[in-house]
Structure 1
Amino acid sequence: MKIIRQYRLAHRIGYFTGDNDAKNDAKNDAKNDTCLRQLAVELSHEYDVTIDPMSSRTRCAGHIINLSLQAFLLATSEHALQAAIEAAQDEANDVTAANALHDQLRATTDQKSHDRRKKRHDTTGWRSIGPMGKLHNIAVFIHNSTVHNDAWDDIAGKALGLDNITRWNSWFRLLDAAIPV
């Protein structure tokens, strides 16, 4: 609100770009109250400006593209990819294809590893996603040893990098470093 007040923007606010989290769509749910809902309340009280947090939010195109590419890259089978796409296309179900694939992968992994509780939970999922999983495991192996990491730097001339969920281009950087070698 400080910036809105300082630059007198209250009557110019129209749309907001946000991620695809289903919590942002929950109506009248105090547990899922978002910044946008709070902003709407404050604008209404302070400036008599009415905005609808649901209809004024646009989804981030970069986030949609990233989730779509992850769904494509991390699909375990054509059937899993098709099921995720169908779930994402169902307008009543606010799920992205990547989220649907992640849920399928987790369910399969949890079922298979039920009797193997001592295994690390995060690596069992990666092993089941084919070549991308193998590349992830190689990157983790290299990063866990200074000897291997130094050897990689000597051979490749650049850091291998490691994929992660918070950097949208982390898979690209990992592939970009690994493929030429």
Structure 2
Amino acid sequence: MDTALNFILTELNSYFSASSSVQESAVVLSGLANPDGSVPLAINNKIVLTLVNIEKETAMGTTGFIPRMGAGFGRSNPTLYLNVYVLVSASFTNYSTGLRRLNQSIGFFQSKPSFTAQNSVAFPAGFELLTMELVSLSMAELSTLWAVLGANYLPSAVYKLRMATVQNEWITEPVPAITQAASNLGS
């Protein structure tokens, strides 16, 4: 998860530095409120990426795989496919600047909704595809989200980061290799 989110952060920062005169990081990965309720200083005049939910992708297969392990094999738990919900918010003292930066962020993900090793130089190992899909929230859902975050509302959009995978490849059970065929069928 952190690898995928940091990759998206780097991609968005690269976009901002290439398309404007912004020298410092325009985008940060952060919560919107400190535990004491105060606003983190690091988000001032930034686009902020905030993890707001994680869900298991149920449309993908869930079978374990059996990698080769010396002369035998090993059974491992199935790969866990995750969808990570990311809040992209504009934390700017100048409201107009915040709206412009949020619009640029939305435009970036609209023009490049999927990321692969072929279209992204720094694409992280362990992933085949990452996509950013805009999620529409009702006013009630939006109100609840901001209440849970413990922050004042900021102009924002929610995206679903699809196909973040987790696979530790821990062997849960050794499986011996078949060395010869049994010929005593039906005996």
What TM-score do you get using the length of structure 1 for normalisation? 0.23
Higher relative contact order (CA 8 A, sep 6+): 2
Q: Which has the higher strand share?
A: 2
What TM-score do you get using the length of structure 2 for normalisation? 0.22
